[in-house]
Chain A
Amino acid sequence: MNGARYDAAAVAVLWRRDLLRFFRQPSRLVGALGQPVLFWAVIGSGMAATFRMPGTDVGYLAYFYPGVVLMVVLFAAIFTTLSVIEDRHAGFLQAVLAGPASRGAIVLGKVAGSASVALSQAALFLLLAPLAGFPYLSVNWPLLVAALALAAVGLAALGFAVAWVVDNVQGYHAIQMTLLVPLWVVSGAMFPAGPDRPILAALVRANPVAYAVSAARLALAGPGAPGALPGPAGRDLAVLALFAGANLLLAVLVARRGAAR
């Protein structure tokens, strides 16, 4: 029996399943677009009057837009990996775990599925980029897609690892609010960490999600984008690749450990 064949099959099955589920539920599609639009428009216009980016005349809606793109990715990754908890005890994942695939393949398939759903949601929101002042033709799409894909994989893998270890929905929500959401809040997505706030600036630089926000700013607004971390986009992508790789490894390790139920 060829193990790799089973592993490839499981990756394909789990990947396809998440996408089938996503595109089949119109309410999820509406929510995927509506929620970030509301968030961007409401918070964005509320802050627009007081926000002033030092040294530029960029408006808050434009500043906030790349941050909301990352918020879409983060929340989609959290939402889709949360389902692992129930799925593993009373769902399709039970059957996958009892099938011939390795745990590593199961992690890869689930993360690929979650990340693809997250990217699909981000793509929907990115349709509005021109409204934020980023015409389609001026966007550096390869950089944007690479940054969002790596962030999606890293966050989905982190979500999977948390879901597997915590193994109850309430516990997952607690960790989501204390670990995952703060990753986005202190990423520079909502407000810049100026030189007058060194502790916040250090937190931002230690936060992998900040590099995703930064790369998204560079991809949308071009080099020298307001709010981007100083340094080349290649550095941002390298940090994100490391983040994705480390979290995938973590997720595989926890899923291989001990019992499945």
Chain B
Amino acid sequence: MTDAGATPRPGAAAPPRLAARGLSFAYGDRRVLDGVDFDVRAGEIFGFLGPNGAGKSTLFAILAGLLPPAGGEIRLDGERLGPRSRALRARMGVVFQEPSLDAKLSARENLLLGAALFAVPRADAARRADALLEAAGLAERAGDPAGRLSGGMRRRLELARALVHAPEVLLLDEPTTGLDAAAFRRAWAEIEAQRRSRGLTAVLTTHRPDEAERCDRLAVLSHGRVVAVDTPAALRASVSGDVVVVEAEGGADLAGEIASRLGVDARAVAGGVAVARDRGHELVPRLVEAFPPGRFRSVAVRRPTLADAFLRLTGEDLGEGPAPGAGGPLDAPGPSASPGRAATAAEARR
């Protein structure tokens, strides 16, 4: 698995590994992608962050070669790809959201057939399949039909199948959907290992802040447009101060009430109200005193997360369950999980 030999950090003059200019797509009158531009460097983990309906799935289908774009172009290492070009498909591995394994064939056979599709010589395919099964913790189940594996095992096998031909670019659609915390870490460990060992570039779509934290850079996708591209830290830093999260009934009305009584910018979010401001801890006693006891289920102060950054950039909620930034059980050990983050609504609701 060291045969690709790509350099993880090319010189500044090197063209981006994968780039797009003006990608557009429409279903009838509905514009789904509206001039999407991006540059993904070799060896980078690059994410498209957006809620359902932002155009992620369409962008994924175009990059996977399943859907021809209505306009725009894709470049691979600076070379413009024609329509129906197989150059991109030949150098890419794809992890779908839906299953793409043959349930009747064994885990190992799935990998061997996956490798054969890319004309990998048989001996190499067998060697890589065994190594990937080992890394995915599936070596003992290699002979079992894929359909008899657990959901998490199948997702790991999907990832192994996408990597078995040693692609230069790995494309993943909401990759950790349906993974438990351990499987999530394992999947990311494999992606990062392949990046270190052979300069794998990974491009993924996600609506989950915790998954987005794992990326080197993110393109924030909203209504078919890229509205910002930056590192997760820089995106988070664009939201100043703290976020005060109130867990209570009647989000929209309560947000208006808090805004008028305390003179702060309050927003309704799923499960309550969020207020982004400096020195958030000073707001807490004022909030508690301004409302009758029992009006709030909880009040918490935390550092801004990518969901807050997304909200500030687009005015939209990422749409993943509870209050913005509450990443759920798979929260990455990144800054969003820093001690400032109160473990409140998110955990309680899971």
Contacts and interface: CB of A to CB of B under 8 A. Distances in A.
A148 to B, nearest CB: 25
26 contacts: A1-B86, A1-B87, A8-B119, A9-B117, A9-B118, A9-B119, A10-B117, A13-B117, A25-B104, A89-B98, A91-B99, A91-B100, A92-B102, A92-B113, A93-B100, A94-B96, A95-B96, A95-B100, A98-B92, A99-B117, A100-B117, A101-B117, A258-B68, A259-B67, A259-B68, A260-B66
A96 B102 CA distance: 11
B90 A6 contact: yes
Interface of B: 61, 64-68, 86-87, 89-90, 92, 94, 96, 98-102, 104-105, 109-110, 113-114, 116-119, 161-162
Interface in A46-105: 89-102
Given A94-B96, A261-B67, A100 B89 contact: yes
A244 B98 CA distance: 33
A134 B113 CA distance: 41
Interface in A206-261: 258-261
A210 to B, nearest CB: 35
B118 A6 contact: yes
A20 interface: yes
A195 interface: no
A102 B161 CA distance: 20
Contact of B113 (A8, A16, A89, A258): A16
A12 interface: yes
A6 B119 contact: yes
Nearest to B109: A20
A5 B183 CA distance: 35
Nearest to B104: A21
A261 B66 contact: yes
B118 A102 contact: no
A261 to B, nearest CB: 6
A173 interface: no
Contacts of B89: 98-100
Pairs of residues from A and B, 10 with the lowest C-beta to C-beta distance, nearest first: A100-B90, A260-B66, A94-B100, A92-B102, A90-B98, A95-B100, A99-B117, A98-B94, A9-B119, A100-B86
A91 B61 contact: no
A261 B104 contact: no
Q: How large is the interface on A (under 10, 10 to 19, 20 to 34, 35 or more residues)?
A: 20 to 34
A3 interface: yes
Nearest to B86: A100
A24 interface: yes
Q: Taking each of A24, A89, A93, A98, which has the highest tally of chain B beta carbons within 10 Å of its own beta carbon?
A: A98
Given A9-B116, A20-B109, A99-B118, A92 B100 contact: yes
A17 interface: yes
Contacts of A6: 86, 90, 117-119
B98 A21 contact: no
A90 B147 CA distance: 13
Interface string A1-43: 1010110111011001100110011000000000000000000
A17 B101 CA distance: 12
Given A6-B90, A95-B96, A100 B118 contact: yes
A16 B118 CA distance: 15
Contact of A95 (B67, B87, B109, B114): B114
Nearest to A101: B117
Contact of B105 (A8, A20, A100): A20
Contacts of B87: 1
Contacts of B68: 258-259
A9 B61 CA distance: 23
A93 B102 CA distance: 9
B102 A98 contact: no
Given A90-B99, A259-B66, 14 more contacts: A6-B117, A10-B117, A13-B113, A13-B116, A20-B109, A21-B104, A91-B100, A91-B102, A94-B96, A95-B94, A95-B100, A99-B89, A101-B86, A259-B67
Interface in A86-138: 89-102
Contacts of B105: 17, 20-21
A27 B67 CA distance: 37
Nearest to A97: B66
A8 B65 CA distance: 19
Nearest to A90: B98
Contacts of B114: 95
A69 B239 CA distance: 72
A16 to B, nearest CB: 7
A25 B67 CA distance: 34
A98 B118 contact: no
